Amino acid sequence: MITYLRQRKQLVPASCLALAFIIFSFMWLLADNASAVAVIVDGKTQFLAASIQDVQQTLRQIEAEKEAQVNLDLELSNELEFKEVFALHSKLTPNDQMAALLEQSVCFDAVAATIVVNGKAVASLLDEEQALQLVERFKTDFAKLDQGEKLLQLGFEEQVEVVCGRVPFEKICTPEQAYDLISTGTLNPEKYIVQAGDNLWLIARRNDTYVEDIKQANHLTSENLSLGQELIVVKSKPLLTVVAQVEGAKVEAIPYETQVVVDAGAAASVRVREQGSEGERKITYQAVKKNGVISDRQVTSEEIIKNPVARVLVKGSQVVQVASRGSSGISKGVLDWPVYGPISQYFRAGHRAIDITGKVGTALHASGSGYVVEAGWNGGYGKTIVIDHGNGYSTRYAHCNSLSVSVGQKVSRGQTIAALGNTGRSTGPHCHFEVIYNGTAVNPLSVLK
């Protein structure tokens, strides 16, 4: 009995101690915990704060500062939620750190006028008037009328509209920025560092752009580059196409015919007996221009001022008339593709040809019948063939691997003249195909079948 009582007396203080410990721990926890709010931005918990008021006040301060900076009426664009939680004091974000956290997770919108091209937002401006003015300015600038041309109609190839609404305020640009953006397609042009062995032509090819564009973007007056020089590489492609219908009058050259005197027994060489000279004619025309480049032209009247004098090449005893000068004008389908393959470069300023890619050795065919007027190495063009088709047309096939015709040779449409290659200033196998009409390179796609 005594033993039992003693045991009980010892047991009571032990359980009291345990209970006291639990209560003490609980109170200690209570003392270090507090009710708090979880700040949720667009469904994602960002941090814990002591009170909603603290967060909202900080947010108002940020908004006011930004509004003062950009002089715009801003509005929070995120969805902001608060959830009451119970958290350790140490987990709460102090007020002085809250601004930085909020700035990382929220953004602000402002009312702007956005230029939308084929359903895609292109540039946002402060108001509708600015946006409309910019669209009109671009239209006028990119019509690019030549002397003596009268505008009949002006518009865009794309569907262009100005839409007013809220956009992130950082996206609002000045009219100058928007103009550059629409003209070049980018606000952040890439940089290129000149390396040993580089030249503008190679840099342009590697960056899928054009020598003239690089020169213009970097205000280069010569093609001399220095090692380590930083170049802006603008892949200048306007986001809009201005379509201008024009009426014009001008005096232009009439191409001369080429006659070849063929001597079957002679070596493949040609002597010029008569240089030939261009004629002159006064024409009126109507044309469709896309960003200043003629895409379609109809001659409406013609007055011959001076007749051309034929060029005579001597290679034998027989005189062959290449082709009679019929009605002139660029027409679709007069020439055949020299080779079929993906086009890696299109015709434009700085690249007055198309590049058709293919395997080295693939046969290249004459685009039309005519006479070979050039066959051999020609600097950056590498191994090159030029065929005079008469009617003012010639075609050039550059970077060939091998040539199978010689100067003075008559070729028929579709005849194999060379093999596709990678000679000269070329960074990959392709045929650089040029169409020259009346001495000017024209877009091959406008005359190919």
* Residue 131 or 353 having the CB closest to Zn ion: 353
* Residue 383 or 432 having the CB closest to Zn ion: 432
* Residue 311 or 396 having the CB closest to Zn ion: 396
* Three-class DSSP category at 49: strand
Instruction: Name the minimum Å distance from CB 432 to Zn ion.
Output: 3
Main-chain phi, psi angles of 141, to 5 degrees = -65, -40
- Using only C-alpha atoms, the chain has a radius of gyration, in whole angstroms, of 37
* Residue 352 or 410 having the CB closest to Zn ion: 352
* Residue 316 or 350 having the CB closest to Zn ion: 350
Cβ atoms within 10 Å, residue 93: 20
Instruction: Name the minimum Å distance from CB 201 to Zn ion.
Output: 10
Instruction: Name the minimum Å distance from CB 352 to Zn ion.
Output: 9
Residues of this chain that bind Zn ion (CB under 5 A): 353, 355, 432
Q: Is the dihedral of CA 327, 332, 338, 344 positive or negative?
A: positive
Of 396, 399, 389, 392, the C-alpha closest to 434 is 396
Instruction: Name the minimum Å distance from CB 152 to Zn ion.
Output: 34
* Residue 106 or 353 having the CB closest to Zn ion: 353
Instruction: Name the minimum Å distance from CB 443 to Zn ion.
Output: 13
**HEC profile for 293-356?**
EEEEEEEEEEEEEECCECEEEEEECEEEECCCCCCCCCCCCCECCCCCCCEEECCECCECCEEE
Q: Of all residues in this chain, which one has the CB nearest to Zn ion in the complex?
A: 432
Q: Is the dihedral of CA 245, 249, 250, 252 positive or negative?
A: positive
Instruction: Name the minimum Å distance from CB 185 to Zn ion.
Output: 21
DSSP 93: P
**Cα–Cα dist 287/270, whole Å:** 39
Q: Is the dihedral of CA 358, 361, 362, 367 positive or negative?
A: positive
